Structure 1
């Protein structure tokens, strides 16, 4: 049985750190996995990523943004995610369709029905078995990104990022079995404990508590 797990949250919520620690844990448990990210995950999708996140493209319309994300996602799913799932691996993905529903939908103003339709076409209606949302106030999240140059989306207003946060919380209320919210304002260790618990709940039984490699 393969498992697809996505991570979501406002920019600066700590996804990179928590995913890195989770991957170390999966290595210790001898769990076969593939880690990937959005936008990206294939050479073509990585090229689209550069266009999407380049601050020089600040005039990009939200509908162009949505269509580019969907195009990158179609490539990503067909060439990286589905093949890994077919091999029985655990796929850990930094962002997936929920990002489009929240960023281009809730915060960007596009109809969720439109975004759902184009992304179902792009992914073949693929959905994660579990989505972990790292929840953090935008002002705290953005303050954590000291020393890093902000990309085009990170440079959006605080109001925009607050809408993103609220969008994720609404998703969790709408789909409580799939979407789980983790309070990311706590210590790295406390957050990781919750992340591991939520991941273990959906892992195949043979991998739960498998123990470390000799």
Structure 2
């Protein structure tokens, strides 16, 4: 009988068609998260026991929605509030060429840097220990975020970091409809596409394009 971890690894192989090398790097990364968790609390304690589904698979479900553009040499992804690297490190391991992970908590940036080094992602990533609202504009093609901030606040902070024609690819929970309404009430205009969440049945992958105020 398969464990949950084994079934998630099978999902990576059959749905995302990852190579053995990529799977090995994902396994190394998952082990690092579990190893560092007791000392710096980089993920919720209740989710650390199921890091493959609750974090790696949850992050990786956005890959099919940006893989084509993310693998181009000139595409820049900026991940807000990266924490332990979800989804930033996962996207880099899967093949994204340029991922900037913005995280203001020092102990988390130390982990991110070490994880990128050990998972052979340093050449494709940048760890920025900065507050998003104070950092210089990033000119991103894609902004990602997971469990970061309500949509109106995210757009308030993020829009100056997004290049014209760029888009947001976000992981949102059960309150996503009210967040969309709040953002529109705050004067934001955009086109939105949502896809059912793979790990959280009440959540969604949310793609925003044409964002303006």
Higher helix share: 1
Higher strand share: 2
- Normalized against structure 1, the TM-score is what? 0.28
Larger RCO of the pair (alpha carbons < 8 Å, separation 6+): 1
- Normalized against structure 2, the TM-score is what? 0.28
